[in-house]
Structure 1
């Protein structure tokens, strides 16, 4: 298996997919002719040379000598990439699945990689890839420690192991995204309505005034208690919020979901009080 000191000191890396993430990771250079890549888009293969990456004439050529493979395809292609390309890599090579997919998808990809004689590692990229190799990574799987050491030699200095089970790193990433991407969507919906109503400055100032300097554990406990105690009343208010948005010509996608969750979260005592 490619876990010798020589391999760790100078691993050969192959990238499957050379879009935004691949180019960002390759841009700092320093891989000294030890990097190859493959992408189904010909223009991306052509672009690899300017980053010091040798484009294979086909996937098999790109993967043949790699000690570590970075899978950087689109989310809907992650499992197929593992199924299609893992049989092309040498026995014992590390397949680092850096795609943003569910734990279940990672497990399916892992089965394909291990069946082909490779070693699968679940890697979650925890910040925008514009940070390049300075991006924080979470790693999980039976070979997480070997992967962390090898990624460090490639310049990924901010990798942290979170467990030895495939799927744990991606669970953290996916569940965190509920908040991160959800807040983005809520912000978009709120701002669209505020602009339509001509009250952007007032709404933003009111939000600033009500912001609490809490850590997320405290904030989560508070928000859940509010929903359990006052969910029905808040659901009724959010129904009027959704009506307001429709009157403004803004589709209340997030607000209507909030109505549903507020109502479901209400505890039985709150339901009885509402009925009374």
Structure 2
């Protein structure tokens, strides 16, 4: 399969905008369109402004994405299957649904089955690092029954991808398993340091952690973890809820991920009133004040 001439985004949030920016820069001939659930509802004006600024054709309904060769699904984890079902009616044998959502292998397998039943191709694309500044060149894992056919197109578009397997869900499995550690380390860091500040022993805890784990780079790692959870906590919570499902499906302890999701969600709520940056101790105190006010 050659590179597509048209790409549609189902969901136009941070990931979709990052992918669009670098795809458009590297492939000026591409045509873009987008639909987002915010159109016609809360956030309508801001979403339209973002789409206008990006130069993508605004699609009022999901089915208006029909005709695009690739539809990139980039929605919140809880909406991934709903979003895919919203475009099933416009899928054809010439359509590829590229699912970059952070969901469980089981969810991607279910989505793939419904997409492929329409004769379209399905690509499980797992984004393995922050999408800024590399956009679509962010390292990804790819899996799907159409991998042999899609591989040349991924290369032609400039994706940085690694084949994870032929079965849908194989790429997201790598992300879900890894995510317990990555998002869990964030949750451990912020919750430990919030407790340290409340217990009036923050300097002692930071010093102890720096001595015990010098390779992590204290206190810089702590500032980074606070920034990531305050800015992205809501989205991370939705992802880690899918991690919990993934671990439960494996017969392991999904409850651990569920607790991490609670911390991420609490930090996301705190981020609505707290701006990361500045002195770490002052930031921790500010977050504690916000968390106490819940």
Q: How does 1:157-196 map to 2 (within 5 A)?
A: 158-196=160-198
CA shift digits 1:99-129 (9 cap, x unpaired): 0000010011111101111111111111122
Q: Which of 42, 46, 50 in structure 1 is aligned with 2:53?
A: 50
Instruction: Give the equivalent residue in structure 2 for 1:84.
Output: 86
Question: How big is the alpha-carbon RMSD for the aligned residues of Structure 1 and Structure 2?
Answer: 2.1
Distance in 2, matches of 1:85 and 1:102, equals 21
> Following the alignment from structure 1 to structure 2, what is the Cα–Cα distance between the partners of residues 210 and 81?
45
- Shift in alpha-carbon separation, 1:92–1:122, aligned structure 2, 3 A: same
1:34 lines up with 2:8 in the alignment: no
Q: 1:119 to 1:57 in 2, by over 3 A?
A: same
What does residue 77 of structure 2 align with? 75
Give per-residue Cα distances to partners, 1:204-244, cap 9 Å, x unaligned: 22112122769xxxxxxxxxxxxxxxxxxxxxxxxxxxxxx
Contact 1:72 1:97 in 2 (8 A): yes
Question: Per the alignment, in what secondary structure is the counterpart of residue 87 of structure 2?
Answer: helix
Corresponding residue number in structure 1 for 2:66: 63
Distance 2:209 2:148 in 1: 44
Which of 198, 201, 204 is the matching residue for 2:200?
198
Q: Which ranges in structure 1 are unaligned for 5 or more consecutive residues? A: 215-252, 255-276
Residues 16-66 of structure 1, C-alpha deviations (whole Å, 9 max, x = no match): 1101111111123334351111112223245213212112243333222x2
Q: Mark the CA change 1:160 to 1:128 in structure 2 (over 3 Å): closer, same or farther.
A: same
Q: Residues 32 and 47 from structure 1, CA distance in 2 versus in 1: closer, same or farther, beyond 3 angstroms?
A: farther
Secondary structure, counterpart of 1:171 in structure 2: helix
**Is this contact kept in 2: 1:33–1:52, CA < 8 A?**
no
Question: Residues 1-276 of structure 1: matches in 2 within 5 Å?
Answer: 3=1, 8-28=2-22, 29-30=24-25, 31-42=28-39, 43=44, 44-64=47-67, 66-131=68-133, 132-156=135-159, 158-211=160-213
Give the conservation status (yes or no) of the 8 Å contact 1:10–1:153: no
> Structure with the greater relative contact order (CA < 8 A, sep ≥ 6): 1 or 2?
2
- Which ranges in structure 2 are unaligned for 5 or more consecutive residues? 217-258, 261-294
Preserved contact between residue 92 and residue 118 of structure 2 (Cα < 8 Å): no
Provide the C-alpha distance between the structure 1 equivalents of 2:122 and 2:48, rounded to a whole number of angstroms.
Answer: 25
Partners of 1:197 and 1:51 lie apart in 2 by 48
Query: Matched residue pairs, number?
Result: 208
Name the residue aligned to 2:279.
Answer: none
Secondary structure at 1:166 match in 2: coil
Deviation string, structure 1 residues 52-93 (Cα, Å, up to 9, x no partner)? 2112243333222x2211111111111112222122123231
| Alpha-carbon distance between aligned partners in 2 of 1:111 and 1:35, rounded to the nearest angstrom | 26
2 CA distance for matches of 1:116 and 1:188? 45
Residues 4 and 69 in structure 2, CA contact (< 8 A), matched pair in contact too: no
SS in structure 1 of the partner of residue 167 of structure 2: coil
The answer to whether the 8 A contact 1:55-1:62 is kept is no
SS at match of 1:201: helix
The TM-score, its normalising length taken from structure 1, stands at 0.69
